[in-house]
Amino acid sequence: MRSPLLSTNGVTDYIARVAEYFHSRLAPSLVEAYKLGSLAHGGFSKIYSDIDVGLLLNCAEPPSAMPALIAEAKTLDAEYGKKLSVFWGNPEFTWGRLPFIDRLDLLDHGVPLLHGVKPSFRRPTKDEIHQEQIQSIERSWKSRLPELSRLPKLEPKDRKPYIRAILYAARLIYTWDNLSVDSNDRAVEYLHQVQPPGLDLKPVDLALACRNEICTAEDVFALHTDLNRQCESTLSYISVNRI
């Protein structure tokens, strides 16, 4: 099946089918399937957002077929499947793909899709959250900056990673300070409240406007933001702001 337009209603229908698919393949080990990310806490962008689904399992070991099941779930829709991201694991944090940040999102914003079961497990500690964020900085942010900084122009394939790189500072600082996850809009609002020294908020604001379809990624790129300085200013802020 193929969806000609990426719409919120279409995504909602696709997520419901994904939840039923995993229920049919993983019951009775599947406790609940959840809507996560921007579709749960707000700010979904048909261009820049992933389609996040969380699976909470209650079994002794991780299902060996999970990679194949996730791959098949992506085929339920030719367009939406490209954006599907599945987070899964057990309540004890011992296996699966359900990092601490996504556990926060699941606890605070997860929308049950099958049985109405609210998530219930230990909340990640401050140290666990901060440690995961530090690892994510190296893996998901700093490693991309050299390539993005060298771009002579913004190609279509670069739009999503570039906008994410600009907004990363807001999401990082919001979660670092509040030990919670929220929308990009709330994270940028918080950034204006704390005013991190040296961090240029203009490109962050414009990147948020881009996500909200008020301007284009090319408009953000035209600011020629110093991505390395943005990163350094963010790291400086979190290094002296531990709660």
* pLDDT tens profile 15-26: 999 999 999 999
Q: What confidence score (pLDDT) does residue 236 get?
A: 96
According to the model, what pLDDT value does residue 5 have? Answer: 43
* pLDDT over threshold 90, residue 153: yes
Pick from 112, 136, 167: which residue ends a domain? 112
**Span 218-236, mean pLDDT?**
97
* pTM of structure: 0.91
Q: Please report the pLDDT score of residue 43 as a whole number.
A: 87
Give how many domains the chain has, as a whole number.
Answer: 2
22 and 106 together in one domain: yes
- 62 occurs within a structural domain: yes
Residue 38 domain flag: yes
Structural domain of 80? 8-112
Predicted confidence (pLDDT) per residue in 155-188, tens digit: 999 999 999 999 999 999 999 999 999 999 999 9
229 falls within a domain: yes
Using CA atoms, how far apart are residues 239 and 133, in angstroms rounded to an integer? 12
Of 212, 189, 213, 203, which Cα lies nearest the Cα of 233? Answer: 203
Beta-carbon contacts of residue 44 (< 8 Å; ≥ 6 apart): 8, 11, 37, 38
75 and 140 housed in the same domain? no
Do 67 and 100 have their domain in common? yes
Of the three residues 45, 78, 112, the one that is the final residue of a domain is 112
- For residues 205 and 116, the answer to whether their CB atoms sit within 8 Å is no
| Domain membership flag for residue 118 | no
Query: pLDDT per residue over 95-151, tens digit each?
Result: 999 999 999 999 999 999 999 999 989 999 999 999 999 999 999 999 999 999 999
pLDDT value of position 7: 57
> Are 157 and 96 contained in the same domain?
no
Residues 51 and 133 in one domain: no
26 and 65 housed in the same domain: yes
Read out DSSP for 161-175? HHHHHHHHHHHHHHH
In a domain? residue 174: yes
Cβ atoms < 10 Å from Cβ of 163 = 25
d(CA 29, CA 140): 32
**Same-domain check for residues 132 and 107:** no
Whether 137 and 93 map to the same domain: the answer is no
Q: Are residues 20 and 88 in the same domain?
A: yes
Residue 219 and residue 137 in one domain: yes
Angle at 187 between CA 159 and CA 97, to 5 degrees: 70
- Please check whether residue 200 lies inside any domain of the structure: yes
- Which tens digits make up the pLDDT trace of 21-63? 999 999 999 999 999 999 998 889 988 999 999 999 999 999 9
Asked if residue 78 belongs to a domain, the reply is yes
Helical (H) or strand (E) element with 206 = helix 201-211
CATH of the domain at 83: 3.30.300
